[in-house]
Structure 1
Amino acid sequence: MTTLFPKPIIELPEADIPIKGITAYLSQGENHQIIFMKFEEDVDLAEHSHEEQWGIVLEGKIKLTIDGVNNTYSKGDRYFIPSGVKHSGKIFAGYADMTFFNQKNRYKEK
């Protein structure tokens, strides 16, 4: 993948996300986190839930099942997952996004 994120993003701390093939940068807010992620490998996401999540796809595609509804999102698309709603999906190699979590401690720094 070519360089997607500019220097101010790649100088952020890396997020400790236990997924193979991910590079993620963490912008920590007082009550939220913004994660800039890119994936080098396909990833299957098991069903789970957490606080609200909003994302915008920067490259590639992702298939998400949110509260039983299947959708595929690609470059330029946005998605929203309400708090506590079960979701799962498949992330395809080459995918990148910017994701807002309405949760200050969703991920920690590496």
Structure 2
Amino acid sequence: MPSVFSEPITSLPVAHIPQPGVTAYLSQADTHQLLFMEFGQDLEMPEHAHAAQVGFVLQGTIDLIVDGKAYRFTKGDRYYIPAGSPHSGRIHAGYADISFFDEPSRYAVT
């Protein structure tokens, strides 16, 4: 499947995300990370929490449960997960987004 992202994004370092079918290009800063993510297959995310996250949906569908409330986001939507909020969900194959993590070390480079 061709990437939704073009150069120079696909030239960024690839983030280490140990889930099958996930490709994420990492833009690293001193205070945060920006990931350009694509999902080639469905992914179930168990409940977890971390620093604040903001996502901008480029294509596909993500179902999130944040603080016990269910949401569905599709192309053109944006979502916000406050710092420390328990969340889980399902990312559907073909999903792509740009995610901002308000922490500099959420993901390492492969």
- What is the TM-score normalised by the length of structure 2? 0.98
Task: Report the counterpart of residue 3 of structure 1 in structure 2.
Answer: 3
Residue in 2 that maps onto 1:36: 36
- Using the TM superposition, give the Cα deviation of residue 13 of structure 1 relative to its aligned residue in structure 2, in angstroms: 0.2
Letter in 2 for 1:36: F
Give CA-to-partner distance per residue, 1:30-76, whole Å, 9 cap, x none: 10000000000000000000000000000100000000110100000
Q: Please, what TM-score do these two structures have when normalized by structure 1?
A: 0.98
| Runs of 4+ more than 2 Å apart | none
1:67 aligns to 2:67 (yes or no):
yes
**Aligned pairs, number:** 110
1:44-83 equivalences in 2 (<5 Å): 44-83=44-83
- Unaligned 5+ runs, structure 2: none
User: Structure 1, unaligned stretches of length 5 or more?
Assistant: none
Q: CA RMSD in A?
A: 0.7
- Identity value in percent: 50
The alpha carbon displacement at 1:19 in A equals: 1.1
Amino acid at match of 1:27: S
The CA distance in 2 between the partners of 1:18 and 1:108, in whole Å, is: 11
Tell me which residue corresponds to 1:106.
Answer: 106
